[in-house]
Copies of this chain bind each other. A is one copy, B any other.
């Protein structure tokens, strides 16, 4: 399978869709990408690492922009090869990976082959195993084995964002709230103290919790505090002496993990409840104040992109943020269609993203 990087990125997306690349089975697509980069680009140092392909220029320019995309997809569900249709007068491309994220990969590959003189040094990383457990993530492997390859002034991940810049990420923590009572036989329940009944005020506070919205660098982060588990009970004839609620707090990146935990604890102030933080990960600030990021934001605003918004959930953007590299998601496709059987992308989004990034790399404003 030969990829023509100079073809329209829409065509290139369709070609990538037609190379099946379910996680842990990316050898064929990585081979095709590596060969195409070696044969159809100039000025790149190219390295193969497992089923990841890395390429970078070393022209000594003051700014380095990193473009990263994963090559793997979720399991195929009768949606490969892809196909084009027209819906409401617009061309749409269906297929596994059309959104997540072969359209983003296609844009990056096309730019690598067609932008001859970018104003910045470029690093491209096409990696494997993003869709499965974090331990297998190809970008994580690169971080361990080739950490210098992740150095950049701005990292752009081509994850589907419908042409919006999605930046930063919320933090997450989980906590266990335990209430206690006194065990007794239900036939004489007045001798006991029912721990499950004592969950009422805890759940009431969750039900009435008013979540904060915070704007940082133009991104609005909306927090959320959710019960994700509740359990209690000894037997059908026993007043239980213990019950617990597990909560998950998604918090804006202006709180540290410690501050977020303290906030959750304070939600239950005055209740007789034991609070235990079970796990958590800090958020990542959007980092859109760096010059390289500001330029991209301006370009998106002035060229018909969607604008800037917060990224919900933990993504590989956070990996760069943790390394101190400003990072954003910016790619074609509605993220809500990712992993769906009817995954599809309006092709004009591919064109728009490619055009914005081309102008950005050429320093056009």
Interface set of A (CB-CB < 8 Å, partner B):
170, 172, 174, 185-190, 192, 194, 196-201, 203-204, 206-207, 211, 222, 224-240, 243, 245-246, 248, 250, 312-313
A197 CB to closest chain B CB (Å) equals 4
Q: In the bound complex, do residue A197 and residue B207 qualify as a contact, i.e. CB atoms below 8 Å apart?
A: yes
Is the CB–CB distance between A227 and B240 below 8 Å? yes
With A187-B313, A222-B190, A248-B186 as given contacts, are A196 and B227 in contact (CB-CB < 8 Å)?
A: yes
State A233–B174 Cα separation when bound (angstroms). 13
Could you say which of B170, B204, B234, B237 contacts A187, with CB atoms under 8 Å apart? B170
Among A206, A227, A233, the most chain B Cβ lie within 10 Å of the Cβ of A227
Q: In the complex, what distance in Å separates the CA atom of A200 from the CA atom of B271?
A: 14
Q: Chain B residues near A186 (CB, 8 Å)?
A: 172, 224, 226, 228, 248, 250
B199 touches A203 (CB 8 A): yes
Shortest CB-to-CB span from A334 to chain B, Å, is 14
- For the complex, give the distance between the alpha carbons of A313 and B188 in Å: 8
Question: Which residue in B174, B199, B207 is a CB contact (below 8 Å) of A230?
Answer: B199
| 10 other A-B residue contacts (CB within 8 Å) besides A186-B224, A197-B206, A200-B206 | A170-B187, A187-B224, A194-B226, A197-B226, A198-B207, A200-B200, A228-B238, A228-B240, A230-B231, A231-B232
